[in-house]
Amino acid sequence: MSALNRREVLQFMGVGAAAVGSGAALLCPQKAEAALRLESPDEEVTPDASSERAAWALMAPFTAGSAIAGMRLVGVSGVTATGTVNVRFEKPDASRFTVRICRRDPSATAPTPVACTKRYELFVANGGKGRKRTDEAEGVTAMCLANVVVRNELATAPLAVGTMRERWRRLAKR
């Protein structure tokens, strides 16, 4: 897979919209299962089953095993201890990656997500804190996921997630 910077990933937005059908994720102008917990040790999932059900409601009609942009949806966490919802995907080569769903941060100095919706920002978790190039396929998957979230977010109660900066502050306190 090739790697792209965030600007290049945003150019693929049309590809993501075509992959999931109608609807388009809004670009930000200013910028599960046990395996999910085991592969993300910094993301302790709260034992609140209702937050996991709410997170799955954002993914409807997709369920575990569904394909989004050629990637298999493995699982969706409830709201984690650091304030995000983690959506875990598996690539065709069996490697996995995570898309984090955070609350939208209106600040001009906020980290730039791959995609965002009215309420949420979606980040590909690659350990780079916004400085590492986003893998093209992972970025397109995050954009396709945003299209799904756009169609569901106003029909569901808002998730109690924090912004990405709030997540970083929580991690720094550990």
Work out the mean pLDDT of the chain and round it to a whole number: 78
Please spell the DSSP secondary structure of 4-55, one letter per residue: E-HHHHHHTHHHHHHHH-S--PBPPTT---HHHHHH-TT-PBPS-HHHHHHH
Which amino acid, residue 36? L
Tokens, residue 167: 């997540």
Please, which pLDDT band fits residue 44 given cuts at 50, 70 and 90? low
What's the pLDDT tens digit per position in 97-128? 999 999 999 999 998 899 999 999 999 998 77
Q: Where are the domains of the chain?
A: 3-172
Please, which pLDDT band fits residue 49 given cuts at 50, 70 and 90? confident
- Prediction pTM value: 0.74
